Chain A
Amino acid sequence: MLANLKTPAQRHTAIFYGLIMVGFYFVPVFSDNFYLLSVFTTAYFYIIFATSWDVFAGYSHLMNFGHALFIGIAGYLTAFVDLHLGLPPLLVLPMCAVVCGLLGMFIGYLTLRMQGPYFAIITMAFAAVAYESAIMFSEYTGGEEGIPGIHPLTDSLIGDYYFVLVVMSLIFLFLLWFTRGRWGLVLKAISQNEDAVLASGINTAWVKIRAYSISGALCGIGGSVYAYSLTHVGPTSMEQVLSTTILIMAMVGGMGTITGPFLGALILVLFNELSRDMEEYRLLIYTVMVVVIIFFAPRGIVSWGQPIARAFKLGGKRGQAGS
């Protein structure tokens, strides 16, 4: 990957995200405040959700409005396996990845022919079906209450913090590697002109299905860790608000960049937590801010990287910020 960092701008971007990641590892060194660590852990979860959303939806511009489906499915699976079979997390995580990956492949296959708005509606519908089912089949799922009592990942707060952080780091690095290579290029090309990609001899349907599958698998890992971390899973883990939040974070950060959803999730979670003093105005400010950012910067806040870098005389003339 380092070999790909040709321009100074790309090097500066890499240093920028590298420093943030290293900073995350040092947070517990400076503070073991329960609240602070849990805020950061929440941010890591949303980074996993938003970046895994991005690898399919952000690159292909097929708006996935039901990404939380994978979080919920993985969460319930984790609860069943943990409580009934007692398997360790290191076995459960790959299991969730496989199940959600296959689920993504299946949904991808069903929705192959659908364009923009149709795709948005069907993804919403699948998540809603799962949500209603979780409430309806309450003997297995605990209904609205969900399933409590999942065993924690580690026996300490700091242990959990590092577990989540390591999983997030690995997923983030994998996604960067995956999208900076040929798959990212082909997915981007498909979003701009699918016919020309077909005419280049590439099976676009398969490329999209594969990306959706990866998106689901990685989100499934995140959803499983999420359930362990809360020691609980419930229907709220796949409700529409969560899916929409993920997508808004990715859009605010900058779709189709992986780094954008990373920043979008981090900034919005931190803002949401730090603005608790504003009490009832908090969510109003949050939502209005989101509308304003999407309106003025539809390419997300990573599109500001280049002008900012130039203002500080960093970076070269060309080379996209965040890529």
Chain B
Amino acid sequence: MSWKNLKIFAIAVLFVMNLFFGIEVYMQNKRMNFYSEKEIASVRGLLSESGLQIKEDYLRAKKVSPPAYMRRYGDGELLASVKSVFGNVESDGDALTAVSGGIYRFGAGDGFEYRSSEDSPLPEEILENGNVSAIFMFDSYSERLETAMKKVMRIESINALPQNKKAEKTSASLYRLYVTDDGKYFVSVFLQYIGKMQTSQAFSLVIDADGNVVSGNGTFSLLLPTEKLKTDCVDLLTILFDEKRWADEYFSQPAQSTEQKKNGLELSALYYSYDVYHAANGAEYYVPVINLIYSDGTSHSYNLIDGVKK
């Protein structure tokens, strides 16, 4: 065989091998990361027997492994950040106090408290009085309340901190809303976001009818996570079979009517978020969590690292 023909032969052989391995890699990837139609149908059937209706789309991906995040910082770095964002800071035992358009106190575990004046009522004081109503359709309020929140929480200054340079930007979004019966105050519950991911850091603000923040407290990370950690998250199927066990028990309770049992529950939302854990060495971990919300409002969350239901 001439050298020219040998090249053509080599190209043909290599092409076939490439094609074979290409298809094999594709199939293997599909096998590892996605369930087959048959498996999906089988899982849906099993869940359906327990009264859980789950759309195919939710079952497509076998395993999603969002990264975890970590941040380690000391008291000095927190002090510098608070000083940079809120101005003069005084250390008061375990807490840092800054007076800047109100009184801010930052304590352990990302806890904070804000009062526009010393005698401002805190959110729980207003909620405990009982003369409040929940507003469920709060879209029309969101913009105004979030503007007030951004101002008092100094979201832009926090994102601009040199210590947060390597971190994804933070924001907060309205999650729950209550209004006093006299319409004087809104108690707004916000969740902190890191990038597009919701976190378990939550805080409440009392905002008056004019859009001024009166007080607030809760947890909020000033120093955002900068270190990305690989994770080996639990399989979605493991979580769904845990849900199946729950559903079997739930629908076997006498309190459930025959109609409820017949209709079952439909999974209306499935999303990922982060729970914040504080390690003894001062590090803050953002651990991925999967959240399942059913048609009746029942909500379940699982830690994606150990698969334990919260």
Q: Do A and B bind each other?
A: no
Residues of A within 8 A of B (CB): none
Residues of B within 8 A of A (CB): none
